[in-house]
Amino acid sequence: MSGEAVTSEAAPVYATPRILLIPSLEVFSVIDLASYYDRFIKGRGYTGVVLPLVETTGVYFDYRVTVDGSRQVVTGNAVRMLSTSSGTQKVEYIGLHQIIRRLTDLAGQTDPLSIYFSVHVDLPQFAHDSASSIADQSGFTSARACINKATTLQHLEALFRGAFGQETPASERVIDPVDVAGIVLYAGDLWPVSGAGGRFQLTCFCEECAEQLSRKNVGKDWFKKTPNPANLALAEMEDDREAVSGYLPVRDLEADLDPEDIIDRCAQVANTLAYNATRGKSDGKMQVSAQELMTLARQLKAYLTAKSTLSQEALKRVFREARKVADRELHAILLVEAEPYLWTTGIFFKDLVTMADSVDEVWLPVHPMSTPVGMPKTRAILASRACYFVYSFVINLNIHLPAFKATRMGTMPFEERQQMLRHGKDQVLSELPQKLVGLALPATMAAAKDAVVVGLDAEIIDRLIENALGAEETHSPQSPAE
């Protein structure tokens, strides 16, 4: 050591994996539970595991729901599970409660695992009831549920009741509410955005959303014309053949920006309306005056602000419902990306602070932003877009399963389905870290280092794809063994 002053540099912060997230119970159809445990959990010091309470294909337990005034029993699917006994592999059909029992048995008393449930509110599962569907500004609906709708909340409540309701008889529920460590709400993809030909479709403008937006002085009609406020902040992306291949949103829109600042931010992204207008470029139909530009920016700000309030309230309602059903203060966890404005979650990042009265933890991918004062406890989720590609792969995989495929994918050629799933695999692998040991986090995430990891790898994904594509002729629906 020389006598010179040494710059004091904080020691690097390393992620410490603590919780394993299992995105789909389908994994147990390609690897038996004991082997999965050995591969992903054993000896790693995990304290908890996240299991999906609901998937694209439905749920793995029975529950009661009231539709149009009549009470119906929804029969849960069985998990098609591979098991090995005395060296031979067989297939069993079991329920979610059995998966939990076996997992906790394997963990034993020495390394007990807490059970978290993940909930994906926008799954088509809820939207089989068209009263739950999202709609864009032109009234086109999609088979996805709007979290803001009363019917979606009713479905969720029924689901919570069936899974861990305090008043549900113990023999009928999946788990005792005192054994639920928390509810993880995946809010990374609540509001899909799409665009082509400069026309951006935003969701949701269903009757309930439109009504609540209009009470906050946001007009649905603003978004029906061209150009509209969305054109300021969204730009079309073209692939190398110059075909429109998606859109690029301006993400660094903070809650406290003035309309002038919004125009400046949007003008930094090539091909947004603001970019073209401030550079005097136009294609004729998108010509706007400086005054019109300001009006659009004011409207955009009003929309983003109102949408953020609405989305926060909707998310809070879900947690409130889960806690009411469990009759206890379940740990409420939000899983989101980390950007100043989260387009597909519909909230400003800073507004997570104002959710601290309802949310106990926020799980965020590794990001460089500083954590605002007053933020709930944070954890790093070691998936770059907060599981966006993981969940999109799982949804695609599930809709290729034989039970589902008949209605949705029946006409898509095998090669195309194979290609789609392989592409999904590449996206998932690009989202997950190469290694979990020695993964350095930015200093701003020191408090979030007790991390969450996804329980998938390339080999499991390959087997899942093979299974989804290969099993189509041989599958017949089964009920749980018990």
- Least distance to Zn ion, CB of residue 34, Å: 43
Nearer to Zn ion, 32 or 321 (CB): 321
Q: Between residues 38 and 207, which has the closer beta carbon with respect to Zn ion?
A: 207
- Between helices 33-40 and 96-107, what is the axis angle to 10°? 50
DSSP per-residue string spanning 42-77: TTS---EEEEES-BTTB-SS-EEEEETTEEEEEPPP
Sequence-ordered alpha helix ranges (H) in 108-249: 124-127, 150-164, 207-215, 229-233
Closest separation between CB of residue 209 and Zn ion, Å? 3
Selected binder of Zn ion within 78, 204, 336, 387 (CB under 5 A): 204
* Residue 212 contacts Zn ion per CB under 5 A: no
- Beta-bridge partners for 247: 236
In the complex, least distance from residue 206 CB atom to Zn ion, rounded to whole angstroms: 3
H helical segments located in 128-203: 150-164
Residue placing its CB nearer to Zn ion in the complex, 24 or 132: 132
Identify which of residues 151 and 378 has a Cβ nearer to Zn ion in the complex.
Answer: 151
**Which residues are within 8 A (CB) of 188 and not within 5 positions of it... i.e. 6 or more apart?**
335, 336, 337, 342, 344, 345, 385, 386, 387, 388, 391
Residues that bind Zn ion (rule: CB under 5 A) add up to a total of: 5
**Which residue's CB is nearer to Zn ion, number 112 or number 139?**
139
Determine if 148 is a binding residue for Zn ion (CB under 5 A). yes
Q: Least distance (Å) from Zn ion to the CB of residue 145?
A: 9
Tally of helices (H runs) and strands (E runs) in the chain: 13, 22
- Min dist CB 211 to Zn ion, Å, is 10
Question: Whose Cβ is closer to Zn ion: residue 148's or residue 396's?
Answer: 148
Angle between helices 290-326 and 207-215 (to 10 degrees): 120
Nearest distance in Å: CB 220, Zn ion: 11
Q: 146 vs 468, which CB is nearer to Zn ion? A: 146
- C-alpha to C-alpha distance for 120 and 152, rounded to whole angstroms: 12
Which is closer to Zn ion, CB of 274 or CB of 306? 306
Q: What mask, x for binding Zn ion by CB under 5 A, covers residues 96 to 135?
A: ----------------------------------------
Cα torsion angle, 28, 34, 36, 40, sign: positive
- Determine the 3-state secondary structure of 90 from DSSP: strand
Contact flag: residue 146 with Zn ion (CB under 5 A): yes
Stretch that binds Zn ion, among 71-79, 206-214, 314-322, 362-370 (CB under 5 A): 206-214
How, if at all, do strands 341-342 and 347-348 pair? Answer: antiparallel
Minimum CB distance to Zn ion, residue 389 (Å): 25
Site string for Zn ion, 353-392 (x = CB under 5 A): ----------------------------------------
| Amino acid present at 402 | P
Contact code string over 156-195 relative to Zn ion, x by CB under 5 A = ----------------------------------------
474: helix, strand or coil: coil
CA distances from 205 to 305, 326, 346 (A): 15, 32, 13
Among residues 33, 103, 119, 206, the one that binds Zn ion under rule CB under 5 A: 206
Backbone φ and ψ for 341, nearest 5 degrees, come out as: -125, 125
Q: Is 209 in the site for Zn ion (CB under 5 A)?
A: yes
| CA–CA gap between residue 138 and residue 223 (Å, rounded) | 9
Q: Which stretch, 156-164, 178-186, 208-216, 258-266, contacts Zn ion (CB under 5 A)?
A: 208-216
Q: How far is the CB of 307 from Zn ion (least distance, A)?
A: 11
Strand 79-85 relative to strand 133-135, pairing: unpaired
In the bound state with Zn ion, the residue whose beta carbon lies nearer, of 20 and 127, is: 127
Nearest to 408 by CA among 395, 419, 421: 395
Closer residue to Zn ion in complex, CB, 137/272: 137
Q: By the criterion CB under 5 A, which residues form the site for Zn ion?
A: 146, 148, 204, 206, 209
